[in-house]
Structure 1
Amino acid sequence: MQEPTINALVSPEGSLEILSNHEVNRLKDRSEGGLYRLFRQCALAVLNTGVETDDCKALMEAHADFDVHLVPQPRGLKLELVNAPAHAFVDGEMLRAIREHLFSVLRDIIYSHSIPQSASGFRRDDPEDLTNLVFHVLRNARVLEAGRQPDLVVCWGGHSISHDEYQYSKEVGHQLGLRGLSIITGCGPGAMKGPMKGATIAHAKQRVKNGRYIGITEPGIIGAEAPNPIVNELVIMPDIEKRLEAFIRCGHGVIVFPGGVGTAEEILYLLGILLHPDNADLPFPVVFTGKQENAEYFEMIDKFIRNALGDEAAKKYEIIIDDPVRVAQTMKKGMKDVETFRRAMQDAYYFNWMLKIDPVFQLPFHPNHENMRDLELHRDQPVHLIAANLRKAFSGIVAGNVKEDGIRQVQARGPFEIAGDPTLIKPLEAMLAQFVAQNRMKLPGSSAYHPSYRIVSEAD
C-alpha cells in the first residue's frame, strides 16, 4: 500500500532564512559535485521521524518520487516539498520539531561545505583545521554556550534494543534530568531516544526551562537513524569522524548502553583517544550501564577491550549494572571534576580544546572492499592505533548494514572481508556473532540479517 504524501510550502524555523545565489545554485546542482542529492536524502530522513527503519537505501527507494525545491521569497526563502510523507504533518501543517530539523539540515549542509572553500589555507588532512571545522559547525548551530557550567552527558547505545533496555535508558535519563543534566545522543531511536525522553520528564519536575536534547548525526547515518522529535538542537556533521569528535569536544562525560557495531565503534574511538598520554590526567567520566540481564553483554565488551587494548583501557570506564541513580550520581560528580579541571586549566566549558586527538581518528575512513581488507589489525603497533583500526572495522560493518552506499557495495560485491591477527580477529568474530544472536544489527521486525562482513584468515 502506497504511503500517503503531501505537497507543501514550508517556511524556515529559526535556523537559516537567507542564502546567497551561489548557495542556492549548489543546492539545486544535481551533478556529482552538487549538494542536491545530499540535501534531498537528509531532508527525507528528517521527514520520516518516528518511522522504524534502519535501511537508508530502502528508504530512498520507497520515496523515489519525493522532491524538494528552494523557493526564493522577498523576505528569505521557503522549501517546496513534493510527495512528502504525510505523517510529518498534522492537519496539513508540518510538525514544528520536524520543521526545525529540516532547516537545521539546510543550515549545516550549506555551512560545512562552505568552510573548506572559503577558509584560506584550509587543509583536509590537518588536525587543527579539522578540529576548527568541528568547532565552527557547532558554533554556527548555536550548540556552544559560553558561561554554561558542564552539564552535557553523551549517551551512546543501540538503535535496535529491547523494550526493557529502552525503559532502562529512559530511567537513566530521568535520573540525569533530576540532577539538572542535559543529554547529547546520536539523535535516533532506541538508546538515543530513551535518555532524552526520561530527561524531559525530569526537567519538567524540576522546572528546568533550558533543558538541552542535542542530536548529532551525519549524512550517511541519518536515513537509518532519523532524528527523534525530542531533539531540540540538531546538528549534521560532514562525516562520522567529525560527528564522533563533536560528541567528545562538547560533551562532558559519556554513558554507554547496550548496542551493536555502531556502539562498539564509538567505544573504541573514545578509548583510543583517552589512552593517548597527553590525555592521561584529563577528567572525562565514562560509564557502561544496562539492566541485570545486560551484565553478560558488558562482561563480553570488557573482555574484548582488555584483550585488544589492555587492562589500562579498562581503567577509563566504570561498569554499573541496574542502578540508574548511581549512574546519574557518578555523572554529576564527574561534571564537578570536569568543571574544576577546566577552570584550573583555563579551558572552555563548552568545547574541550585540551583533548588530544591523533589524526588517525580524524581523517575520514571510506569503507570499501579494498580498504576493509587492508586494515592493519595486528598487535605490532601502538595501542591507540589498534583501537583506531578496530574502530574502522566496525565503521565499515555499520556502512554495510545501514548506509546506502555501503549496502550497495555489499550487494554488488558481497560482504566486506576482514583479516588480521587471530588474537584480535577471533574475539572480534565472537563478539559480532553475539551481536547478531541478540538482534543488535537490525531493528526488530526487519528482514533476516545478512552479514555485511566476512572474517577471513590472513592466508586467504
Structure 2
Amino acid sequence: MPQQVLDARISPHGNLDLLSRLEVGKLLDTSQGVLYPLFRNSSLAVLNYGDYLDDGRELLERYKDFDIRVIQEERGLKLHLRNAPASAFVDGTIIRGINEHLFAVLRDIVYVDDTINNNPRFDLTTSDGITNAVFHILRNAGIMQPRTEPHLAVCWGGHSITPHEYDYSKEVGYELGLRGFDICTGCGPGAMKGPMKGATIGHAKQRIYTGQYLGITEPGIIASESPNPIVNDLVIMPDIEKRLEAFVRIGHAIIVFPGGVGTAEEILYILSILLDPSNSRIPLPLIFTGPDSAADYFEMIDHFIIETLGPAARQMYSIIINDPEAVARQVVKGIDQVRRFRLKTGDAYYFNWLLNIDLSLQLPFVPTHENMHSLNLHRDQPPHLLASNLRRAFSGIVSGNVKEAGIRLIEEKGAFELCGDTTVMNPLDTLLTTFVEQQRMKLPTTTYQPCYRLTTHSDSD
C-alpha cells in the first residue's frame, strides 16, 4: 500500500533561526561527506512518529523519495519537506512537537559538525576530551538546569515489551511525577515512553507545569526508535557511546525496566562504571524493576551478571518487583545521597564531572565482523573491563538487529561471531536465547533470525 506523503515548508519554534551559508551548504551537499544523509535520515525518523518499524533500513526504503532542504531567508530559516510522512501533519499543518524535534535534529547535527568535529579544542581520542564534547553538546541544547536540586530520573528499558510491562512503567513514572522528578529516556516507545506518560499525570496532579521529559538518542538508533510525542527536550548525540555518557552524566538515579539487548547494553555500561574502583565512593542509585510477570526476567539478568562479573557486581543495584511506590521512595533516598555527596565535593548537580568513565566505554565501537570477533570476552581481566567488552558485544547485536548499516553488513557477510571463555559464553548464550524466546530482540512482527553466533576457544581451535 503506498504511503501517504505531503510536501510542506515549515518554520522553527525556538531559537534556531539562522545558519551560515557554509552550514547550509554542508547540509545540502549530497556529493561529499555524510552531513546531508545524516540530517535527512534523522529527520525522516522524527517525522515517522507513531509508525515504529524496528528496522532503520525499512524506513529509508519506504520513503525513498523523501527530501528535506534548508532555506535561508532574510527573516530566518525554513525547512522544505518533500514526500514527508503524512502522519506528521494535522489538516496540512505539522504537529508542533514534531516541528520542535525536527529543528532539534538540525541544531545538534550542525553543532557537532561545526563545533565538535575536527576542532582541536575537543580531543576525541582522550577521555577528558570526549566528556568535554558531551557537556558542550548538552549545554548547546539547553537541557541542563544549573540552579535546581537533583531531580532527574533516567529510565532505561526495551521498546519491545508486553502491555503489562508498559503499564507498569507508567505507574512508576506516575509515582516519580508525584514526587516532582523529571524523566529522561532514550525517547522511543515502550519503556522509554511509559515513564514519561505516567509522570505527566503525576506532574499535573501536583500542578507542575515545567516538567522535563528529556529524550536522548543518536543517528544510528533513531530510525527504529522515533521520538515519542511526550518528549519536550530532544538531543541527538553523535554516537551510542556519547549517548550513554550523557545519560549517566546528567542523571541522578537510573531505573531499568525489562528490555532486550539494548537494555542489556545499558546495564553493562553502568555496571562497568560502578565496578571501576575509582568510582567506589560516588553514589549513583541503580534500580531494576518490573511487574510480577518480570520477576523471572530480572532473575535471569541477575544470574547472568553474577556468573560473568562476579558477586561484587550484585552489590551495585537493587531489584524491586511490582511496587512502583517503593521504587519512587528509593529514588528519593538515593538522590538525597547524590545531593549531599555533590554538595560535599563541590561537583555540579547538573553534570557529574567526578564520575570516571573508562576510555573503552567512550571510544566509538564500530561493529564489524572483525571487531566483534576480536572482543576480549575472557575472565582474565578486571570485572569492569569485561563488562565494557560485553557492552560492545551487545551494541553490535543491536546494530545487526535494527540499524541500517548493521543489517546490510549481516546480509553481506553473515552473522557476527563472538568468541570467549566458556564461563562467559555459556551465560551469554542462555541470556540471548531467552531474549529470542520472549520476543525481546525485535518487535514481534516476523520470525527473528539471529545476527550473531557464539563460539568458545575450544570451538575455534
Q: Please state how far the C-alpha of 1:121 moved relative to its aligned partner.
A: 4.5
Q: SS where residue 420 of structure 2 aligns?
A: coil
Q: Please state how far the C-alpha of 1:384 moved relative to its aligned partner.
A: 1.1
Identify the residue that residue 300 of structure 2 maps to in structure 1. 300
Q: SS where residue 399 of structure 1 aligns?
A: helix
Q: How many residues align?
A: 459
CA–CA distance in 1 between the matches of 2:344 and 2:359? 27
CA–CA distance in 2 between the matches of 1:148 and 1:229? 25
Identify the residue that residue 325 of structure 2 maps to in structure 1. 325
Q: SS where residue 441 of structure 2 aligns?
A: coil
Tell me which amino acid in the other structure corresponds to 1:276.
Answer: D
Identify the residue that residue 111 of structure 1 maps to in structure 2. 111
Cα 1:455–1:330 change in 2 (3 A) is same
Alignment pair present for 1:189 and 2:189: yes
Identify the residue that residue 38 of structure 2 maps to in structure 1. 38
Cα 1:421–1:31 change in 2 (3 A) is farther
Q: Please state how far the C-alpha of 1:103 moved relative to its aligned partner.
A: 0.2
Identify the residue that residue 91 of structure 2 maps to in structure 1. 91
CA–CA distance in 2 between the matches of 1:150 and 1:50? 32
8 A contact 1:15–1:104 mirrored in 2: no
8 A contact 2:218–2:239 mirrored in 1: yes
Q: SS where residue 160 of structure 1 aligns?
A: coil
User: Displaced runs of 4+ in structure 1, greater than 4 A?
Assistant: none
Alignment pair present for 1:449 and 2:448: yes
Tell me which amino acid in the other structure corresponds to 1:336.
Answer: D
Q: Please state how far the C-alpha of 1:122 moved relative to its aligned partner.
A: 2.9
- Structure 2 alignment gaps of length 5 or more: none
Tell me which amino acid in the other structure corresponds to 1:222.
Answer: I
Identify the residue that residue 142 of structure 1 maps to in structure 2. 142
CA–CA distance in 2 between the matches of 1:118 and 1:437? 45
8 A contact 1:377–1:421 mirrored in 2: yes
Q: Please state how far the C-alpha of 1:32 moved relative to its aligned partner.
A: 4.8
Q: SS where residue 72 of structure 2 aligns?
A: strand
8 A contact 1:219–1:239 mirrored in 2: yes
Alignment pair present for 1:287 and 2:281: no
8 A contact 2:122–2:132 mirrored in 1: no
CA–CA distance in 1 between the matches of 2:47 and 2:237? 18
Alignment pair present for 1:26 and 2:39: no
Tell me which amino acid in the other structure corresponds to 2:134.
Answer: V
Identify the residue that residue 159 of structure 2 maps to in structure 1. 159
Cα 1:425–1:48 change in 2 (3 A) is same
CA–CA distance in 1 between the matches of 2:167 and 2:224? 22
Aligned counterparts, 1:397-412, within 5 A: 397-412=397-412
The one-character-per-residue Cα deviations of 1:3-46 (angstroms, maximum 9, x if unpaired) are 11100001011142111111111111123524100000000000
CA–CA distance in 2 between the matches of 1:223 and 1:180? 31
CA–CA distance in 1 between the matches of 2:115 and 2:265? 27
Identify the residue that residue 387 of structure 1 maps to in structure 2. 387
Report sequence identity in percent: 58
Identify the residue that residue 3 of structure 1 maps to in structure 2. 3
CA–CA distance in 1 between the matches of 2:308 and 2:21? 51
8 A contact 1:15–1:107 mirrored in 2: no
8 A contact 1:7–1:81 mirrored in 2: yes
Tell me which amino acid in the other structure corresponds to 1:452.
Answer: C
Q: Please state how far the C-alpha of 1:402 moved relative to its aligned partner.
A: 0.3
Tell me which amino acid in the other structure corresponds to 1:303.
Answer: H
Alignment pair present for 1:172 and 2:172: yes
Cα 1:441–1:118 change in 2 (3 A) is closer
CA–CA distance in 2 between the matches of 1:52 and 1:235? 19
The one-character-per-residue Cα deviations of 1:308-351 (angstroms, maximum 9, x if unpaired) are 11111111100000000000010011111111111111110000
Query: Normalising to structure 2: TM-score of the pair?
Result: 0.98
- Structure 1 alignment gaps of length 5 or more: none
